[in-house]
Amino acid sequence: PIIPDYLAEVLRDVESDTSGEPAGYIPELAAADPERLGAAFAMIDGEVYGAGDIDIEFTIQSISKPFIYALALSDRGFDPVLAKVGVEPSGEAFNEISLESDTGRPLNPMINAGAITVHSLAGAEDLNPTERVERVLHGLSAFAGRRLKMDEAVCASEMEHAHRNLAIAHMLRSHNVLTKDARAIVDGYTRQCSVLVTTRDLAMMAATLANRGINPLSGEQVVPEPVVRQVLSVMFSCGMYDAAGDWATQVGIPAKSGVAGGLIGALPGQIGIATFSPRLDTHGNSVRGVSLFERFSSDMGLHVMEVP
């Protein structure tokens, strides 16, 4: 088996790197086993290749952001979403309280300010907070091709320490970017971040983006093709926060990281890739995940700016 052997070999090469720390600001995440390591490739025909801990569940965290952005764009249309959230890289940390000075609009949907706003735009406008969370969970499940659940302990743990996201939400509410109860929206966003996925799920979710929005397992068109183009473009420019420029030049794959240690990349028409390793660098990106993607990109010539 050429691909699993290759994946196992690359995992062995990065295994000894124990630098970085699991996310500390969510106590439940700090308790995660930092030695976990996995990588999976999902082809657009539904075939999955993996090595390491690819069936261990962990919370999706910020990797939910591009998918909920996709749902909002498809549920509400482009104009109402773009009126509230921009598409410019912020060059700042994921939890920066950064809003456009005149409009209060978050710079992009990948930082928390943008993602909290995008959560409020998922589903029809008149949904109550519980129904909105249900729309989000249903949508993430459609991207994964199986019914996903939430980790209530991680969610409660994050909510107890969510002062910064609450501050961001109240700023957004004061600018009327958010138009409903700020606390309820942060609660819903935190639930969104607490959805449990495996590395295999994440690879399949990325493959759905790579496959024009069609889940390779179910055949369902989860979101329309123009939405996928928008989402992948924003992932390319903003998905790795203040490391997005390094990532674009070194790896060159539209990507998104999460603070539980997950990382996805999607190559249009080709493949969805996911890795899992909980120790994070100073940007909040998985240390060994970034190394794995650097290897995949150079070994297989996956940089999108390179002629295949």
Positions in the binding site for ligand GLN (CB under 6 A) = 61-62, 94-95, 112, 158, 165, 193, 258-259, 284
180 is catalytic: no
Q: Which residue has the tokens 């992009």?
A: 108
Catalytic residue among 10, 65, 223, 290: 65
Catalytic residue among 133, 141, 189, 290: 189
Residue nearest ligand GLN, Cβ-based? 62
Cα angle 257-92-305, degrees, rounded to a multiple of 5? 60
Instruction: Judge contact between 154 and 27, C-beta under 8 A.
Output: no
Pick the closer one to ligand GLN by CB: 164 or 303. 164
25 is catalytic: no
What is the nearest approach in angstroms of ligand GLN to the Cβ of residue 9?
Answer: 29
156's enclosing H/E stretch is helix 152-160
Separation CA 168–CA 164 (nearest Å): 6
Instruction: Judge contact between 199 and 38, C-beta under 8 A.
Output: yes
Pick the closer one to ligand GLN by CB: 61 or 297. 61
The β-bridge partners of 59 are 196
Pick the closer one to ligand GLN by CB: 216 or 261. 261
Catalytic residue among 10, 81, 234, 259: 259
Catalytic residue among 241, 251, 287, 297: 241
- Please report, for residues 171, 247, 286, the alpha-carbon distance to residue 273 in angstroms, rounded to integers and kept in the order given: 35, 15, 14
177 is catalytic: no
What is the nearest approach in angstroms of ligand GLN to the Cβ of residue 203?
Answer: 18
Burial zone of 33 (CB within 10 Å; 0-12 exposed, 13-18 middle, 19+ buried): exposed
What is the nearest approach in angstroms of ligand GLN to the Cβ of residue 62?
Answer: 3
What is the nearest approach in angstroms of ligand GLN to the Cβ of residue 258?
Answer: 4
Pick the closer one to ligand GLN by CB: 29 or 232. 29
Tokens at 281, concatenated: 């660098």
Catalytic center residues: 62, 65, 189, 241, 259
